[in-house]
Amino acid sequence: MFKFLTFLGLATSVAGHIHHRTCGVRDLTAEEFEAAESHRHSILQSTQERVKGATINVYFHVITNTSGAGNIPDSQLSAQIDVLNAAYAPGGWKFVQAGKDVTANNDWYVMEPGTRAEKECKTTLRKGNADDLNLYTANIGGGLLGWATFPKDYSKDPEMDGVVILYSSFPGGSARHYDEGDTGTHEVGHWMGLYHTFQGGCREFGGGDGVADTPAEKQANYECPSDSTDSCPSDPGNDPVHNFMDYVYDACMYEFTPGQFDRITEEFTAYRAGK
């Protein structure tokens, strides 16, 4: 089984000021993409009912350093839940806070993907099953804004399942242009089975991101580009510059497509529901 983590990074100049998002994850090759799609389809062939929306429990794991930096008030956690619900409600999904813990650990506070610190943090704190969202917040290292695991990763490494995001990207945080909570929306999108809208570029394979109604996109868009942006003029449609799975400012990303919700239904049914 293939395993892909998403690493959503950012370039910074001074604390709280983020120039733009960049991604360290490599695109899937055509062979890897088709293998992953075939695996899901084979599971769904023996599944009669699809999970078209559900209530998802969210366990917040707030990591601070031993001086208390990185703590997030309950009001911001509640606001993040509201942001997720606003984004995913059209697909029938609802998020509810099921728990919160605060841990002071200097190593975990600056964890990076694939490190001993990340593994120790997650294996110690993770709660629930495959259909429970564990959301870790910290002052993550490596210049990263966040990362997530995909649904198909769960069976191979369940303790590592979840989403990790920079604590200052919560609603009302200090990450300028990325302080409305949509880093959470984006990363949860990966956790629900979505790829970036620009995966595959103009020469998309299998729909690029596996979704037919997200137009081809040569590369990521940043900041707040024009609605008329069309990086693949030979393909139908303009770039999906307001999609949550692109890299624009929080204020400029505000939609999923029906096709993305259909993909979430399939991914959640195959890999998370009741697992």
Give the CA dihedral 178, 184, 190, 195, nearest 10 degrees.
-20
Catalytic choice (118, 180, 187, 204): 187
266 annotated active-site:
no
Residues serving a catalytic function are 187
